Chain A
Amino acid sequence: MQFAPPLGVEDGNVLVLVGTTKGAFLLTSKAGRSRWQMSGPHFPGHAVYALAFDSRHGRRRLWAAVQSMHFGAVLRSSDDFGRTWTQPQEANVKFPSDAGVALKQIWQIALAPSDRPDTLYCGVEPAALFESNDGGETWSLVRGLFDHPHRGRWEPGGGGLCLHTIVPDPSDSRRMLVAISTGGVYRTEDGGRSWQPRNQGIRAEFLPEKYPEFGQCVHKIVRHPTRPKRLFLQNHFGLYRSDDGGDSWSDIARGVPSDFGFAIAIHPHDPDTVYALPLESDEFRCVPEAKLRVYRTRNAGGAWEPLTRGLPQKNAFEAVLRDGMAADSLQPAGIYFGTRSGKLYGSRNEGGSWQLIADTLPPVVCVKTGIAGDAEGGNVKAPKKRAKKPRVGTRSPARARA
């Protein structure tokens, strides 16, 4: 680890944004990803459950959802990689007076596809979606979802009744999925005016009816940018794939030690490659057999392989939460995850081996990535020629660029 101030980020550098229960930490590296600089804690003493890097339209803007236990939650941004942060006078995300509810926490910040470079979304508790169409200056409640007749029957999960996942469709900015614990998956195809539950095939282990229309406890959904109908979902029991944009879901949890877990990440260039981090039951919530293993499928869930090189394989009572794992968009892809015990691991060879990038952080609740100067803002374009699947450990990360 090389110690450094929070500046000096050059175009092409990788950013890893780490949110913890006690503040945010920002890490950066050149594309080789062999040496990291870290700054933090930003917002010491505040929980940061959501982070994002917006490089659309030439921006270099970090977003952080900053939660004071006493004084509420606001979105703060930085255009100088964390040297200074905005401090809004008014809370910038809040319910209108007729909503009758008050914001508890901001769980997710998401960017619209790059054809709408001024649009952002955030998901909050109590479960609701907010939208900004002016680059984050002002935010408004998406009434189509808030007024949904199902809302009164959504139940809080372990983390509260939260909208924690927002999955825009890069091929159609009117289409988007959200996930609510526990409400399940909802999809809009008209820019948020109307929403339909999209939970067909997803199990609700904790309800008498195992496959209800809604009410599932979905933990995370990822979508491949070049194949928007391909989705993967980590459920509260169950790993699923959809090939029809969420119309139906198939169980793909064959070959993992547990189908319970939170975090899931998709390979930026291969829609068949996904990473999951199974946990042992919803009661114990630590990695099975106290072995820290990331599971990877390279055939869309047909088979899974454990990735262990560099990860502790005994007495590892670790857990990774729903936003605790992310991939960068370089080739070969970097995969990162943070644990509740404050460790940040990274792989610069698509999971072939792992390095402990940071230790003894506060409990990690969020890991996000970005590439400085990436005009797509993390919305990866379809490669013209499909990249050959890399042979782990044989390519030089130092020479790899997106």
Chain B
Amino acid sequence: MSVVFRIPGYLRTFTEGQKQVALDAQFRLLRDALDSLAKKYPGVRDRVLTETGEVRPHVNIFVGTESVRYTGGLDTPIREGEEISIVPAVSGGSGHQLRTISV
């Protein structure tokens, strides 16, 4: 197993409810790993990246414990067994879904 993505609640709609997605492949850069995740779960791509290919401003990605904003962005190197966390920035909520109520 090469990398494990930790998926926030909001995006689990697009990963068949999985909190973690393991990808059994070798990746050189974060963009390669994200591309592989998006091929498996297409709904993830446009929620994490804009159409200009940048990480959305209120989405943080951590490789290990380090935000990729400080390690090269999508060109951050990925090592074997790395844990990659996609996290909504603190500027918003947890993604916990309220049940729609009838009032």
Interface residues of chain A, those whose CB is within 8 Å of chain B, are: 3-6, 38-42, 44-45, 68-72, 74, 82, 87-91, 94-97, 99-103
Which residues of chain A come closer than 8 Å to B45, judged between CB atoms? 90
Main secondary structure of the interface of A (DSSP, over half): loop
| Chain A CB within 10 Å, residue with most, of B51, B58, B88, B101 | B51
- In the complex, A72→B91 CA distance in Å? 14
Contact A90 B46 (CB under 8 A): yes
Q: Is the CB of B102 within 8 A of A4?
A: yes
Chain B residue, CB-CB nearest to A73: B46
Band of interface residues on B: 20 to 34
15 sample A-B contacts, Cβ–Cβ < 8 Å, listed by A number: A3-B102, A5-B102, A39-B100, A70-B10, A70-B92, A71-B48, A71-B88, A74-B46, A82-B100, A89-B14, A89-B42, A89-B43, A97-B52, A99-B51, A102-B50
Residues of B contacting A: mostly:
loop
**Contact call B46/A91, Cβ cutoff below 8 A:** yes
B103 at the interface (CB under 8 A from A): yes
By a CB distance below 8 angstroms, the chain B residues around A40 are 100-101, 103
* Pair B52/A100 contact, Cβ less than 8 Å: yes
Chain A contacts of B50 at CB under 8 A? 72, 102-103
Contacts of B100 in A (CB 8 A): 6, 39-42, 44, 82
How far in angstroms is the closest Cβ of chain A from B96?
9
CA distance A100 to B91 in the complex (A): 26
A-B contact count (CB 8 A): 81
Chain B residues at the A interface, C-beta cutoff of 8 Å: 10-11, 13-14, 42-43, 45-48, 50-52, 54, 56, 58-59, 88-89, 91-93, 95, 97-98, 100-103
Find out whether the CB atom of B46 lies under 8 angstroms from the CB atom of A45.
no
Q: What are the residues of chain A within 8 A of B101 when measuring CB–CB?
A: 39-41
Partner of B52, one of A44, A45, A89, A102: A102
With A45-B93, A71-B88, A74-B46 already in contact, 10 other A-B pairs whose C-beta atoms are closer than 8 Å: A6-B102, A38-B103, A44-B98, A69-B58, A70-B56, A71-B59, A90-B42, A101-B52, A102-B52, A103-B50
Contact with B103, one of A3, A88, A100 (Cβ below 8 angstroms): A3
Within 8 Å by CB of A69, from B11, B92, B98, lies: B92
- The residue on B at minimum CB distance from A74 is B46
Asked if B43 and A41 make an inter-chain contact with CB atoms under 8 angstroms apart, the answer reads: no
Most A-side CB within 10 Å, residue of B58, B88, B101, B102: B102
Say how far B38's CB is from chain A's closest CB, in angstroms: 10
- List of A residues within 8 angstroms of B14 by Cβ: 89
Q: Which A residues are CB-close (under 8 A) to B10?
A: 68, 70-71
Given contacts A89-B14, A94-B51, A102-B52, contact A72 B46 (CB under 8 A): yes
With most chain B CB atoms within 10 A of its CB, the pick from A6, A72, A87, A90 is A72
